[in-house]
Amino acid sequence: MKLLRFGEAGQEKPGVLDSEGRIRDLSSVVPDISGDVLTDDGLAALGNVDISALPIVDGDPRLGPCVGQIGKMMCIGLNYADHAAETGAAIPDHPILFMKANSAIVGPNDDVVLPRGSVKSDWEVELGVVIGNRCKYASVENAMDYVAGFCIVNDVSERSFQTELTGQWTKGKSPDTFGPTGPWLVTKDEIADVQALDMYLDVNGTRMQTGNTATMIFTVAQIIEHLSQMFTLHPGDVISTGTPPGVGMGMSPQVFLKPGDEMELGIEGLGVQRQKVGQDA
């Protein structure tokens, strides 16, 4: 299934794509794409719904983040060997974890708005992993049992906030609108091998990032195992698993986002995001 949320920000309704790519309204079946809806039992119940009998959503509605009421947005840094090389960073011994404020999370095609003082805002196409079942002390062998599905995350990053201000990376990762998520939550049964997905990101029609999840240093299963040793993962939590090479910070000379730029990014089987870049007043 390809689950989604549509409507004005803060008023999104749950939906699902039918076999012809049309949005069907799920609001008569579930209140949101969140929490218990994402568990094995919740997804099994959705799988028994006759999608063809649901109302078709007319027009081209705004898509919200594909997961509602996200508990925590966890992000893994330097998780592609070639990206670590372009930034001059050493390969980490364990997954690097930082948090992205939930207030940064927006829809997949919403504008990315540069905050005041931003001079080094950057792009990062990433595979998002949506937790479906409560998870603690997972192993690599059973880690995927806790996954509901996958989505795209653009881990937009203000590098001067991230690396030049005292403190943690969270500062540069959390400005408002810096977490486009979606367009869909694709349930894991539709993805044959999550460690073999092509991904890309363009800025103004120029290819910046090209990668494949096969080059991740820590696999999805290894990340879940590691994180779940330290704290519980809950249904609706999202893990953004790192980015391949081609970020602006790694270029010579460096290139960063400016108002008027347009980003397009996609991951095989997970859809496409498109964002225009604006400037906060």
The range of the structural domain enclosing residue 31 comes to 2-53
Q: Are residues 232 and 101 in the same domain?
A: yes
Q: Are residues 91 and 189 in the same domain?
A: yes
State how beta strands 112-114 and 271-279 pair: parallel
What is the distance between the alpha carbons of residues 87 and 92, in angstroms, rounded to a whole number? 13
Q: Are residues 6 and 81 in the same domain?
A: no
Q: Are residues 83 and 220 in the same domain?
A: yes
What is the distance between the alpha carbons of residues 157 and 133, in angstroms, rounded to a whole number? 29
Q: Are residues 224 and 266 in the same domain?
A: yes
Q: Are residues 81 and 214 in the same domain?
A: yes
In a domain? residue 262:
yes
List, in sequence order, every residue forming a beta bridge with 276; answer none if it has no partner: 262
In a domain? residue 119:
yes
- Within the chain, residue ranges assigned H as helices are 40-47, 81-87, 159-163, 170-173, 220-228
Residue 87, pLDDT score: 75
In a domain? residue 62:
no
What is the distance between the alpha carbons of residues 103 and 117, in angstroms, rounded to a whole number? 19
In a domain? residue 60:
no
Q: Are residues 15 and 97 in the same domain?
A: no
Task: Report pTM.
Answer: 0.96
Q: Are residues 45 and 38 in contact, defined by beta-carbon separation less than 8 angstroms?
A: no
Residue 83, pLDDT score: 75
Q: Are residues 177 and 259 in the same domain?
A: yes
In a domain? residue 253:
yes
Q: Are residues 46 and 122 in the same domain?
A: no
Residue 88, pLDDT score: 77
Domain count, the chain: 2
- Per-residue pLDDT of 28-44, as tens digits, reads 999 999 999 999 999 99
Residue 58, pLDDT score: 95
Tokens 């992000």 — which residue?
75
Q: Are residues 166 and 250 in the same domain?
A: yes
Domain at 143, CATH number:
3.90.850.10
In a domain? residue 59:
no
Q: Are residues 41 and 137 in the same domain?
A: no
Residue 110, pLDDT score: 98
Q: Are residues 16 and 112 in the same domain?
A: no
In a domain? residue 63:
no
Residue 163, pLDDT score: 86
Residues of the chain under the 50 pLDDT cut: none
Measuring CA to CA, which residue among 59, 71, 72 is closest to residue 6? 59
What is the distance between the alpha carbons of residues 126 and 264, in angstroms, rounded to a whole number? 13
In a domain? residue 227:
yes
